Chain A
């Protein structure tokens, strides 16, 4: 693609005999798969939108020209005030972006304005809810060395601690009886500035603070099976119970007098770059040059021969050359409306009709394994949670249909980041894979476990309850699907998840026909770069 052509929108390929094999993501590697001709289609994401030519001035303009009933940021900053800047954590964007990170650009602008207004009491908080704490390197990457060195050493830049008994307060209850738990520092600030990177349509809005600065007491009211099974999809705000709950909580936060100045940003689809070793992942296979083909084969063979640890290292060092496509600031809901439209502009691909079999290639990364290991539970969450829910209208696959996903699904866990996952996998899933039963029988025990809490607060562990949320994330898909098949996964790990292992896509399609009948229709969602299907 050349720069002067307008980026092409998403595209649906009907597979025929002349269609080339399709590249499937497969963890830290790839598979080339032939889809059955005559009854298969491939949904391609839109090409990357053009980025804003001058991000810094766009940010400044947004801060000075807020949306909704908010005053411009400088008008909100007063000497002697308490200012808290909260920002999205390591889970955004995916993969991490090249320096300077958008958060750094935005925070530097905000800090400049605050300094100009004589604001001294400034705290920066990584709004990670019950995710793992960010390491020094990760914080430096997000906010930049200048900000880090100015604020971290004396404890004004830190990770949110949802289990700090003195650091959390209850702001009230929604009419639905949902407790709103919040960071005390944020609640007691005169102004909370939230710095967001809105990668997918679920992010941002009231969720930024109602979830990001909350803890188990608050989260359990929407991070549960009931809510997730009624979010169809959780990526579609108008039909998401998760969204509705966060919005109810946002109202309580506002009514409690917490003033929030929301800054939201969107990025384009330039995940793998227009140049470089991964660029062809953004190209459509029939447009590959001979050089692309050779390059791909070389890369694939190289990766196939490499040990997992080496591959993991290579992939986790990849930083996306994302470009900022929009930035808007001001009152939360007004801002988020514009943000969502901008996200949809990049992601939405109209699709007609559902399919019997949905296939997807799962990549090496999901929101919870940055600089870590994609364990089997995260494989489930990425496939049945995130990718399955990237739809508006109807799920891509019909009810009772089959989902085939491709991922090596190794029986591997990061012992520092995911200790409760290990126990969840080896104890809970060995007992049952039914989300309702899991929630009833095990959630409280894991959530209140003092060892997990200790590791969450003092080490770099996801909270004890986090693997449960991963499982709930997939509960709508589990309810909807007739079967889940994993191609090329560790059979033992796949079976533990309650899924069916298959060694090739052909085998998987064979197995699928037991559920959906012979000659099923097949749809492949070619993601990432991210696309969201608007299914009619």
Chain B
């Protein structure tokens, strides 16, 4: 009897925060009530104990158990039976402290389920976790002088991409195994990481990343650009490492780096095991629970789910695969039960053959790929996903083309979208139109993801290997009836016609949070909800940019107006011609660095009489600024004020230009020119508030008045305002240009479309009207 066999045992578990691990912990707590658990988790910032509470015990897998025991009873049981230990399988010695080592040393059984399951993990990361993880466990156990039963979770796919039968035998016993030395592979992976890192740091590569960052963010200021550049560099390295993983895996006949590293991991573990007895459990594709802890239970968005959702969204018009092929899916609870049974059984004797069990379905109860696609299509035809406009998305019909054709289709779509995006990127569009650009970007991202799926999962859909289950079925037959009832792992009981539509797909769409209903009429839209949050009572501060956020104007227009006010006739023409001729140079400078642009541009105020400018500014405020203002934006400022929020205007415009806005704001941060002898000297008295200087000004102001930026709102229109937007808890993109529109869409920020009052005349050039000849000013 399994519960009895496990009674009084201490079981260490790695990977307990994962999908399989969580289900395993739940099952052990529930169905083997007298065992104790030592959970080795990466401590994170909060520490191992908190992590176990938050990331494991709060999962809905434990709902049933908690209900059964009551909240207090559950907590008491968990505290009594679970020991949380901080550890990490990617560190030699597992990173255990004395407490952890003692805890591990006291265990009778170690279940190793930690893995880098992502099919596109960087090569070295997969090597560290999947290959060296079990090796380190064995080594640590040997160091501690203990030899508990190690149950190592691997995967069926260690058999590699092949057709036909794959028995439950050691990897290197297979005639198809290409003999490589795992130590050499480890060294190579680490070396590739170092080389890729080096390659990413060459001046030309760094310059590339920098220009990419600039293309994405614009003149966002040096710190923002630096941050983005480093992000791009490290992503580039990871991408290269993932490519290296796929390349090395397929060169050895594996579908991906996951299978490849797991295979070498099995070999390595066997080699270093010494007197630690090792049982290997090889599940196929683990999917949502058939029955326990509850039907359809799933944790995280896993392997097949993104593909299924992308299909239902109409994104994957085609997917490669052989309709007759077997998709070897196994519900998680069956895997858990098999692991429990093996742990209870203990290690096999030396004469019992290899201690390897495959947990799969294909050999005895195959789910054909063609059938799965039919089931999925039927289900989504009946339960369609809804698009943004509340329209059901029709699901495409797959014709099972080869992988090459699908890839080519996607590549073509990608190239088209790239072009459209590029064209859009250089168009001077804002607001609604820029949203189109953002949508293009999103489409491009989806196609990129689809390409990734085809690359990664295509191999699985095309896989025609059959994983033999002799040992699994033998183990099953050896169980008592009670154990069979409690720890069911017989894949023959799965009814695919029931499991797919009734259990798995509902849980997939739930986990994927996809809209399965048209948006309710009269219900609060996403925008209304975000707007309500932005205008909630407990916000502290609302910061506003000026240009294109409150008014449709800019510093050049202000200058043109003020400069032309006292000119007439030929002088006026000359003034205009000069400004127009300079426009391209000014624009390009502005794109490069806003502060430099402002410094350069404001020089031309040199010699302007302060008194006249002050007087003219008030007129300009009415004739130009208010006329070009966004009434809704100004109302928004006033709404914030009336709610008691602190309002701040942060702008690179000059102080005299924005002075008339004073009554709207508690505080104005603007650029200031020096004054000498009643005229402006054309030099800024301080760094103009742009990019990160804006962010700094915001932080300083918040600190000074003891305001919490996480409870604050910022409104801006351009990616160069990112530092300011990112500094607050509630960023709002106002009439965003394409780049910011993309960012706002991705991050789910509120996007406001503030417009000028309709019906106002539009001046081609922002010049002051000629003053009446009679004036004596």
Give bound CA distance, A140 to B775, whole Å.
10
Give bound CA distance, A459 to B629, whole Å.
13
In the complex, the answer to whether A414 meets B638 with C-beta atoms within 8 Å is no
Answer whether A416 and B761 are a contact pair too, CB < 8 Å, given A451-B664, A458-B660. no
Answer whether A411 and B758 are a contact pair too, CB < 8 Å, given A458-B618, A458-B660. yes
Binds A, one of B76-84, B163-171, B620-628, B712-720: B620-628
Say whether B404 faces chain A, with CB atoms less than 8 Å apart.
no
Chain A residue, CB-CB nearest to B627: A416
In the complex, the answer to whether A459 meets B627 with C-beta atoms within 8 Å is no
Give bound CA distance, A145 to B772, whole Å.
10
In the complex, the answer to whether B663 meets A450 with C-beta atoms within 8 Å is yes
In the complex, the answer to whether A137 meets B758 with C-beta atoms within 8 Å is no
Say whether A136 faces chain B, with CB atoms less than 8 Å apart.
yes
CB distance from B223 to the nearest CB of A (A): 35
CB distance from A154 to the nearest CB of B (A): 10
In the complex, the answer to whether A145 meets B774 with C-beta atoms within 8 Å is yes
Say whether A423 faces chain B, with CB atoms less than 8 Å apart.
yes
Say whether A387 faces chain B, with CB atoms less than 8 Å apart.
no
Give bound CA distance, A140 to B758, whole Å.
29
Say whether B521 faces chain A, with CB atoms less than 8 Å apart.
no
In the complex, the answer to whether B663 meets A412 with C-beta atoms within 8 Å is no
Cβ–Cβ < 8 Å partners of B762 in chain A: 309
| CB contact between B757 and one of A137, A415, A451 (< 8 Å): that residue | A415
Cβ–Cβ < 8 Å partners of B761 in chain A: 309, 313
In the complex, the answer to whether B631 meets A423 with C-beta atoms within 8 Å is yes
In the complex, the answer to whether B627 meets A415 with C-beta atoms within 8 Å is yes
Say whether B204 faces chain A, with CB atoms less than 8 Å apart.
no
Say whether B393 faces chain A, with CB atoms less than 8 Å apart.
no
In the complex, the answer to whether A419 meets B663 with C-beta atoms within 8 Å is no
In the complex, the answer to whether B635 meets A423 with C-beta atoms within 8 Å is yes
Cβ–Cβ < 8 Å partners of A272 in chain B: none
In the complex, the answer to whether A308 meets B772 with C-beta atoms within 8 Å is no
| CB contact between A410 and one of B623, B626, B631, B758 (< 8 Å): that residue | B758
1/0 per position for B760-777, CB-CB distance to A under 8 A? 111000000001101111
Most buried by A among B621, B623, B660, B757: B757
In the complex, the answer to whether A414 meets B759 with C-beta atoms within 8 Å is yes
In the complex, the answer to whether B772 meets A413 with C-beta atoms within 8 Å is no
Cβ–Cβ < 8 Å partners of A225 in chain B: none
Chain B 631-669 residues near chain A, CB threshold 8 A: 631-632, 634-635, 638, 660, 663-664
A interface secondary structure, majority: helix
In the complex, the answer to whether A455 meets B626 with C-beta atoms within 8 Å is yes
Say whether B248 faces chain A, with CB atoms less than 8 Å apart.
no
Say whether B368 faces chain A, with CB atoms less than 8 Å apart.
no
1/0 per position for B303-319, CB-CB distance to A under 8 A? 00000000000000000
Cβ–Cβ < 8 Å partners of A412 in chain B: 757-759
1/0 per position for A316-336, CB-CB distance to B under 8 A? 000000000000000000000
Give bound CA distance, A423 to B635, whole Å.
7
Cβ–Cβ < 8 Å partners of B759 in chain A: 308-309, 312, 373, 410, 412-414
Answer whether A415 and B774 are a contact pair too, CB < 8 Å, given A423-B631, A451-B664, A459-B626. no
Chain B residue, CB-CB nearest to A136: B772
Give bound CA distance, A419 to B664, whole Å.
14
Cβ–Cβ < 8 Å partners of A410 in chain B: 758-759
Chain A 378-429 residues near chain B, CB threshold 8 A: 410-416, 419, 422-423, 426-427
Give bound CA distance, A37 to B149, whole Å.
105
Say whether A368 faces chain B, with CB atoms less than 8 Å apart.
no
Give bound CA distance, A423 to B631, whole Å.
8
Most buried by B among A137, A410, A416: A416
In the complex, the answer to whether A459 meets B621 with C-beta atoms within 8 Å is yes
Say whether A148 faces chain B, with CB atoms less than 8 Å apart.
yes
Say whether B66 faces chain A, with CB atoms less than 8 Å apart.
no
Chain B 264-312 residues near chain A, CB threshold 8 A: none
In the complex, the answer to whether B756 meets A415 with C-beta atoms within 8 Å is yes
Give bound CA distance, A148 to B773, whole Å.
12
CB distance from A70 to the nearest CB of B (A): 34
Cβ–Cβ < 8 Å partners of B623 in chain A: 416
Cβ–Cβ < 8 Å partners of B760 in chain A: 373, 414-415
CB distance from A315 to the nearest CB of B (A): 14
CB distance from A132 to the nearest CB of B (A): 10
CB distance from B620 to the nearest CB of A (A): 11
Say whether A153 faces chain B, with CB atoms less than 8 Å apart.
yes
Give bound CA distance, A419 to B663, whole Å.
15
Chain B residue, CB-CB nearest to A425: B631
Give bound CA distance, A422 to B755, whole Å.
13
1/0 per position for A451-483, CB-CB distance to B under 8 A? 100110011100000000000000000000000
CB distance from B96 to the nearest CB of A (A): 63
Say whether A14 faces chain B, with CB atoms less than 8 Å apart.
no
Chain A residue, CB-CB nearest to B622: A459
Chain B residue, CB-CB nearest to A459: B622
Cβ–Cβ < 8 Å partners of A455 in chain B: 626
Most buried by B among A148, A373, A422, A451: A451
In the complex, the answer to whether A149 meets B634 with C-beta atoms within 8 Å is no
Give bound CA distance, A411 to B757, whole Å.
9
Cβ–Cβ < 8 Å partners of A313 in chain B: 761
Closest CB pairs A-B (n = 6)? A412-B759, A415-B757, A459-B622, A422-B631, A454-B663, A416-B626
Interface of B toward A, CB cutoff 8 Å: 618, 621-623, 626-627, 629, 631-632, 634-635, 638, 660, 663-664, 756-762, 771-772, 774-777
Interface of A toward B, CB cutoff 8 Å: 136-137, 140, 145, 148-149, 153, 308-309, 312-313, 373, 410-416, 419, 422-423, 426-427, 449-451, 454-455, 458-460
- Would you list 25 pairs from A and B whose C-beta atoms are within 8 A, ordered by A residue? A136-B771, A137-B772, A140-B774, A145-B774, A149-B775, A308-B759, A313-B761, A373-B759, A373-B760, A410-B759, A412-B759, A413-B631, A414-B757, A414-B759, A414-B760, A416-B622, A416-B626, A416-B627, A419-B634, A422-B757, A450-B663, A451-B663, A458-B621, A458-B660, A459-B618
5 further A-B contacts with Cβ under 8 Å, apart from A145-B774, A422-B631, A454-B660, are A148-B774, A413-B757, A415-B626, A416-B626, A459-B626
